[in-house]
Amino acid sequence: MTKFGDFEPLCHQTPSYPWCNLFYRQIQRTDPTVFTDVSSNSLTAPVGVNPTCGIPRVGQQGSLANIANIVVCGVSILFTVFLIWGVSRRRAAVGRIEFRMFLILYLFTLPLQLITTGSLLEQGSTALVALTAIHAGAVAATFWALLGNGILSTQVVEDGTLSSLIPYSFFILAFFAATTYISLDVALGFTSVFGPSSPLQSLNSISLFVLTSIWPGAAALFYFAIMMYIVLGVLNEVRPMWFYVLAAVLFVLSQLDFFLLSKVICNGSSQKVDGSFVATLLETASVGALYLGWRSITEESWDDEVYYPR
């Protein structure tokens, strides 16, 4: 029976789920007999642990790797750089520094995602494990940066000052360091605290599950609630809220695609592509909608009304 923190259903049913790279190494060093079928040969194994459908490693069986997601990640990198440039131009905007840090973190996750889901590196290799752990840490830190932006938008402390930047940056580093360490421990077994799974086949890690699955969803939900309060309750505006609604819808659709449709696309394409490229496209579009929402609530006409009352 599946327990809380089990990655086995995800690694078996969801193609290109990056955190499975950590458990592949855990099994490889603990009991390789757990591997069956496509996972038994690390040279050709796709992302996942005994996946029902997966894209073979590049160069094997004529595979071009996860080419669709690689291309979308590349386009997303360019788009996010453009957003960072747009934020940097608005020098007087509220929360400019913090929102730019969020975008930089999201930008950092994209090349890592390209590698960890791309079927480019050999499964079980130290390089893939290290990059996957860094990717997990970057994702956890990015969602704190998102939530932190929401908290700072309430002006509980003045944005752009040491009183906001020090705690904001501290929690970014804390989430990144903690998640990266836990991920490495799951894969490499530095201690017995975070692995191996018991039983091994369950691929269980409650800490990793919370930081990579529960925390991002919770952070996104709290951020949306805070922005709803600020836009509708404080600014008494409606138009910017539609950007945040759009961002939320796109984010939810990206997750539904990744977890529900990815295997369907993988099977339908004869293991050439999966749903990860659609999920990445929707996630990046969601970030773009967040930028439009942030830009809308920092227009000068509203700044004069809210922050400099007559």
State the pLDDT at residue 301: 38
Taking the C-alpha atoms of residue 76 and residue 95, their distance in angstroms, rounded to an integer, is: 23
On the question of pLDDT at 63 being above 90, the answer is no
44 lies in a domain? yes
| Confidence check: pLDDT of 2 > 90 | no
- Whether residue 256 lies inside any domain: the answer is yes
Q: What is the pLDDT of residue 146?
A: 98
Residue 48 within any structural domain of the chain? yes
Q: What is the pLDDT of residues 225-272, one digit of tens each?
A: 999 999 999 989 999 999 999 999 999 999 999 999 999 999 999 999
Which one is predicted more confidently, 1 or 144? 144
**Residue partners of 184: CB distance under 8 A and separation at least 6:** 129, 130, 133, 190
Query: Which residue pairs from 43-47 have beta carbons closer than 8 angstroms and sit at least 24 positions apart in sequence?
Result: 43/122, 45/123, 45/124, 46/15, 46/16, 46/119, 46/123, 46/271, 47/15, 47/16, 47/17, 47/18, 47/20, 47/21, 47/116, 47/117, 47/119, 47/123
- Mean residue pLDDT of the chain comes to 92
CATH number of the domain that residue 57 is part of: 1.20.1070.10
pLDDT recorded at residue 73: 98
Residue 220 structural domain: 8-307
Phi, psi of 204 (to 5 degrees): -95, 135
The pLDDT tens digits of the residues spanning 77-122 come to 999 999 999 999 988 777 899 999 999 999 999 999 999 999 999 9
Residue 111 is assigned to a structural domain of this protein: yes
Which residues sit opposite 204 in a β-bridge? Answer: 6
Domain assignment of residue 2, yes or no: no
CB atoms within 10 A of CB 295: 17
Task: Say how far apart CA 10 and CA 48 lie, in whole Å.
Answer: 8
- Global pTM? 0.94
165-170's contacts with Cβ under 8 Å and 24+ in sequence apart are: 165/97, 165/98, 168/98, 168/101, 169/101
Is 303's pLDDT higher than 50?
no
What would the mean pLDDT of 280-289 be, rounded to a whole number? 98
- Token pair 């509980």: residue: 156
pLDDT tens track for 124-177: 999 999 999 999 999 999 999 999 999 998 888 888 889 899 999 999 999 999
Q: Judge whether 124 lies within some domain.
A: yes
Structural domain includes residue 80: yes
Per-residue pLDDT at 299: 60
Torsions phi, psi for 6 (to 5 deg): -80, 125
Q: How far is CA 242 from CA 87, 218, 238, 271, 290, in A?
A: 20, 20, 7, 37, 10
Q: What is the pLDDT of residue 193?
A: 82
Give the count of domains, the chain.
1
pLDDT band at 300 (very low <50, low <70, confident <90, very high): very low
Share of residues in the chain with pLDDT > 90 (%):
82
- Confidence at residue 307, expressed as pLDDT on a 0 to 100 scale: 39
Average pLDDT score over residue span 298-304? 49
Spatial contact of 286 and 278, defined as CB atoms under 8 Å apart: no
Position 3 in a domain = no
